[in-house]
Amino acid sequence: MATPPPAYSDQVLVEANGVTRTLLMNTPKQLNALSSAMITGFLRCFTAYEEDEGVKLLLIVKGKGRAFCAGGDVAAVVRSINNDSWKYSAHFFRNEFLLNYIIATYNKPQVSLLTGIVMGGGAGVSIHGRFRVVTESTVFAMPETALGLFPDIGASYFLSRLPGFYGEYVGLTGRLALLEESLKKVDTSDPFAICGIIDQYSQQPSLKEKSALNRLEIINKCFSKRTVEEIIASLEQEAPNVADEWVASAIQSLRKASPTSLKISLRSIREGRTQTVGECLRREYRMVCHVMRGDFSRDFFEGCRAILLDKDRNPKWMPPWLEEVHDEVVEKYFSKVDDPEWENLDLPPRRSHGRRLVPKL
């Protein structure tokens, strides 16, 4: 039976099986959205188990319900900003990004069992790990631009490393019981041995007819353009030549998203191609602090109002048009925050047995 260890939040339950530890996200009514308490619980677990010689493998599985993790609890972040100040949100994202970095450079194997919904912050606590297992029920999305935000949690690192320009597309506009039992019985940290166990229960999936990966040629052609405006224009040019509704759906998603979010997201993913995961997280922390402060746009608060709070699904973006989001405004999101109390994201050096730890991707 999964029980929370002393001083850990009951939102993260820990189950011990020999040398393995299973961490279960336990807020099913909220689709296991990452709260501040959940992030703190994960940080304590990952930090403690990395030093514990009696632990050789970490599993992260979903708690009750139909989601692995539906992202960060941004509604709570918005409420805290409205009731207090942006500094709570800065602390929230600082801890979340630190957790992403620790997972990306962890010295023990982590297996994430991605059943159900995986969005935003849920990707951050799984994709950066060594092993990710998906099922026929997995639904992956990065919906940040629809909220007036941008793909954070190190997304500019992993999205920029997808085939061709698929990362721009995703960022701007997705038999487990036996496997789990076998993993709980392991007595090794050898990633090759763990990979062998996963392979025993895995199948090579076939792409569904409507999968966007079947449109990679068009995606590369359109999403390789220099600007968001050119990407949309290229998609509109392709639309008459494509039989299905995929292009029209992509155009609609782009047209509905925050123009400011689209522009900073595109630049973020492009910069991520040549950066380390630590550099991506530090830059994204600057960006998210600007967003939380509302320094240059209030789109994030408007997006959360329309999608999460009032749920009228009709956000009023300002500015409303891509052409009105000028390069000099985009540039400001990548600058340091002009506040004497603000600090850059400080990520600790990560070493194991004298060896510098590097990301798995």
The CATH number of residue 27's host domain is: 3.90.226.10
Q: Based on the structure, what is the number of domains in the chain?
A: 1
Pick the closest to residue 288 from 160, 154, 159 (CA basis).
154
Quick check: pTM over 0.85?
Answer: yes
- Alpha-carbon distance of 296 to 274, in angstroms, equals 26
In a domain, 316, yes or no: yes
In a domain, 343, yes or no: no
- Alpha-carbon distance of 324 to 68, in angstroms, equals 38
Quickly state the pLDDT bin for 115 (edges 50, 70, 90). Answer: confident
Active site (catalytic) residues: 72, 121, 144, 152
Residue 3 is predicted with a pLDDT of 44
Residue 359 is predicted with a pLDDT of 59
Do the Cβ atoms of 36 and 74 come closer than 8 Å?
A: no
Residue 353 is predicted with a pLDDT of 43
In a domain, 348, yes or no: no
Question: Could you please report the per-residue DSSP string of 189-214?
Answer: --HHHHHHHHHHT---PPPPTT-GGG
Strand order in the sheet with 131-134: 12-17, 20-25, 57-61, 110-114, 131-134
Query: DSSP character for 105?
Result: T
> Would you state the structure tokens that stand for residue 83, as one six-digit string?
């009731």
pLDDT at 325 over 80: yes
pLDDT digits (tens, 9 = 90+) for 124-144: 999 999 998 888 888 888 888
Residue 103 is predicted with a pLDDT of 93
In a domain, 200, yes or no: yes
Quickly state the pLDDT bin for 1 (edges 50, 70, 90). Answer: very low
Residue 69: φ, ψ to 5°: -170, 125
- Alpha-carbon distance of 188 to 197, in angstroms, equals 12
Domain that holds residue 212: 12-333
In a domain, 99, yes or no: yes
- Alpha-carbon distance of 343 to 172, in angstroms, equals 28
Residue 354 is predicted with a pLDDT of 43
Amino acid at 176: L
> Would you state the structure tokens that stand for residue 340, as one six-digit string?
């004497």
In a domain, 356, yes or no: no
- Alpha-carbon distance of 45 to 200, in angstroms, equals 28
Pick the closest to residue 359 from 189, 127, 196 (CA basis).
127
